[in-house]
Amino acid sequence: MTLEKQGETLFSGFDFYNCDMHFTDKQKALRQEVRDFVECEVLPAINPYWERAEFPWEIARKLVDLPIIGGALHEHGAAGLDLVEMGLVMYELSKGDGSVCTFYGVHSGLAMGSIGLLGDAEQKARWLPDMVKLEKIGAFALTEPDVGSNASQVKTRARKDGDGYILNGAKRWIGNASIADILIIWARDEETNSFGGYVIEDPNDKEGLSINDIWGKIGKRAVLNADISLRDVYVPAANKLAYVNRFSDMAQVLGLGRYCVAWEAAGVAAGAFELALKYTKEREQFGKPIAGFQLIQHKLVEMATEITLMQTLCLQLSHLINNGQLTAGTASLAKYNNARKARYVTQLARECLGGNGIIIDNHIARLMLDAEVIYTYEGTNEVNLLLVGRELTGLNAFV
Ligand SMILES: Cc1cc2nc3c(=O)[nH]c(=O)nc-3n(C[C@H](O)[C@H](O)[C@H](O)COP(=O)(O)OP(=O)(O)OC[C@H]3O[C@@H](n4cnc5c(N)ncnc54)[C@H](O)[C@@H]3O)c2cc1C
């Protein structure tokens, strides 16, 4: 049995507590546009890409037709979304597919967000206009082979050299890297130990730089992640992001990233739940729809409860941020809760489909594995827990 039927939409827009009453018409219209895009462009095409671990250019290129590139940035044609809109975009994309959502999040949020928040006027004017049109793709390289959760301790080094810097080091897991035109390398200055963002243009043709995709991923298979090695890579001084000196400067980008990933986690859970609800109402065993059995209803109610909590948490976090009250702890609590619950919900949804949940045709298996990545990136579950713990107690339990 397959859920796809001619002329029917797969998703229902689950909203048990009427969060919609808080959204403006403009926010709802944008959400509908992204929802339609997911139904028409993503769901019919994504599974073979995911299975082949191939980047879906066919889908990604069409994202430019949506008014979403550049997220909250206003300059140089960027979308100028408000926080709720940013969240709703992540939620709807993630309902359809985690890889497309991550491609968008890395390009628009992490890469363009870093340039928009931390670059000067000249840097923004150089890079953002082409990025808004998806004519140049961005990537954000923080994690290293030996430095993951302790990201502030990156070992990649920048050495002042005449009019520029020489970079040496290695990066790992970098989304979009092998298709990137604008690669931001986060490194520490060899002399001063200050933290900096160095923008490398056309990285795939850059002397001393090698980028190798990582194969064999079990989640988000249709977005490319790479290992990067930097050996005496020259970067002009004009390419060092103007307003970064400390790790905490860059962490502003991560804080907003965690807010977006909390919505992403809610979206992947809602996508799996909506598909499971539809399936269980249609699938009959013992002469009636399986949704009529108490044990299936238990799973459906567990899922609906967690998703409702995730949605309301995201919404309240957007109000906190608008109120200037975003802290590491408030962003991390939402990411911590939602990523954990997304894993739980997608597994329950998968169970509801029995054997049909094991194949990707019905999408849920893909969403379930994408939830594993959400659980780990933008700070692992443990790291986000420890950030909340530190804010609650004033005590650092990281080391
Ligand atoms: C698909 C994917 C895409 C990614 N995209 C990007 C990207 O575009 N750019 C980028 O820079 N990075 C990216 N990352 C990297 C991601 O942010 C890291 O994987 C993450 O920060 C964890 O680092 P690590 O994998 O090195 O795990 P580690 O830090 O080695 O952690 C391993 C385990 O130890 C636990 N642990 C570590 N420290 C502590 C502690 N103090 N107390 C308790 N437990 C602890 C962790 O929670 C985890 O369970 C991506 C990762 C994946 C999987």
Q: Which residue has a Cα nearest atom 1 of ligand 1?
A: 373
- 128-139 average pLDDT score: 98
Does one domain contain both 251 and 233? no
Decide if 385 is inside a domain.
Answer: yes
Q: What local confidence, expressed as pLDDT, does residue 380 receive? A: 97
Q: Is ligand 1 within 6 A of the CB of residue 222?
A: no
Instruction: Give the confidence band of 2 by pLDDT, cuts at 50, 70, 90.
Output: low
In a domain, 3, yes or no: no
Residue 173: CB within 6 Å of ligand 1?
yes
What is the Cα–Cα distance from 316 to 137, expressed in whole angstroms?
32
Please tell me the predicted confidence (pLDDT) of residue 12: 86
Q: Is 6 a member of any domain? A: no
Total domains present in the chain: 3
CA 277 vs CA 298, 307, 334: distances in Å: 12, 13, 25
- The residue among 96, 112, 132 that closes a domain is 132
**Strand pairing category for 138-141 and 182-189:** parallel
Q: What is the mean pLDDT of residues 143-154?
A: 97
CATH number at residue 142: 2.40.110.10
What pLDDT score does 42 carry? 97
152 lines ligand 1 (CB under 6 A): no
The closest-lying atom of ligand 1 relative to the alpha carbon of residue 142 is 11
Query: Which residue, judged by its Cα, is nearest atom 14 of ligand 1?
Result: 173
Please tell me the distance between residue 379's alpha carbon and the centre of ligand 1 in angstroms: 6
Task: Quote the ligand 1 centre to 79 CA distance (angstroms).
Answer: 30
Determine the distance separating the centroid of ligand 1 and the alpha carbon of 137, expressed in angstroms: 23
The string of pLDDT tens digits covering residues 199-229 is: 999 999 999 999 999 999 999 999 999 999 9
Counting atoms of ligand 1 from 1, which one is nearest the CA of 151?
Answer: 21
Q: How far apart are the CA of 260 and the centre of ligand 1, in A?
A: 17
C-beta of 382 in contact with ligand 1 (< 6 A)? yes
Q: Do 128 and 145 lie in a common domain?
A: no
Q: How far is the CA of 153 from the centre of ligand 1 (A)?
A: 13
Statement: residue 6 has pLDDT above 90: no
The answer on 86 and 150 residing in a single domain is no
**Averaged pLDDT, 390-396:** 97
297-310 pLDDT, tens digit per residue, is 999 999 999 999 99
The model's confidence at residue 109, banded by pLDDT at 50, 70 and 90, is very high
pLDDT band for 112, please (50, 70, 90 cuts).
very high
Question: Is the pTM above the cut of 0.85?
Answer: yes
Alpha-carbon distance of 211 to 174, in angstroms, equals: 9
Mark whether 215 and 284 lie in a shared domain: no
Which pair of tokens denotes residue 344? 């739980």
Same domain? For 205 and 251 the reply is no
Task: State which of 108, 144, 173 you would mutate to test the pocket of ligand 1, scoring each by most atoms of that ligand within 8 A of its C-beta.
Answer: 173
Pick the residue whose CA is nearest to atom 48 on ligand 1.
380
Average pLDDT over residues 160-186: 97
Q: Is residue 8 part of a domain?
A: no
Is it the case that residue 348 has pLDDT exceeding 70?
A: yes
Residues facing residue 226 across a β-bridge:
174, 213
Tell me: do 106 and 183 sit in the same domain. Answer: no
399 pLDDT more than 90: no
Regarding the beta carbon of 174 and ligand 1, being less than 6 Å apart is answered yes
33-55 pLDDT, tens digit each: 999 999 999 999 999 999 999 99
Using the predicted structure, report yes or no on whether residue 7 has a pLDDT greater than 90: no
Residues 251 and 383 in one domain: yes
Tokens of 393: 């107690």
Q: Do both 44 and 154 map to the same domain? A: no
For residues 337 and 267, state if they share a domain. Answer: yes
List the CATH number of the domain containing 118: 1.10.540.10
HSE, CB side, 13 Å, CA atoms: give it for residue 88. 24
Last residue in a domain, options 77, 101, 132 = 132
For residue 314, give the CATH number of its domain.
1.20.140.10
Q: Check pocket membership of 336 for ligand 1, CB cut-off 6 A.
A: no
CA 144–ligand 1 middle distance (angstroms): 9
Q: Is residue 399 part of a domain?
A: no
Residue 148 Cα to ligand 1 middle (Å): 5
270 and 365 belong to one structural domain: yes
Is the distance from the beta carbon of residue 142 to the nearest atom of ligand 1 less than 6 Å?
Answer: yes
Residue closest by Cα to atom 25 of ligand 1: 148
- Write the pLDDT tens digit of every residue in 224-249: 999 999 999 999 999 999 999 999 99
Domain's final residue, options 84, 106, 132 = 132
Q: Is the pLDDT of residue 276 over 90?
A: yes
pLDDT confidence of residue 335? 98
Q: How many Å lie between the centroid of ligand 1 and the Cα of residue 383?
A: 9
Please state, for a pLDDT cut of 90, what percent of the chain lies above it: 95
Are 251 and 379 within one domain? yes
Residue 227 lies in a domain: yes
Percentage above 70 pLDDT, the chain: 98
Question: Closest Cα to residue 260, out of 37, 389, 81?
Answer: 81
- Report the residue count for the chain: 399
What CA–CA distance (Å, rounded) separates 89 from 69? Answer: 10
Tell whether 359 and 252 lie within a shared domain.
yes
Q: Dump the DSSP string for 287-320.
A: TEEGGGSHHHHHHHHHHHHHHHHHHHHHHHHHHH
Query: pLDDT grade, residue 147 (50/70/90)?
Result: very high
With contact defined as beta carbons under 8 Å apart, do 157 and 208 qualify?
no
Confidence of residue 129 (pLDDT cuts 50, 70, 90): very high
Domain that holds residue 209: 138-239
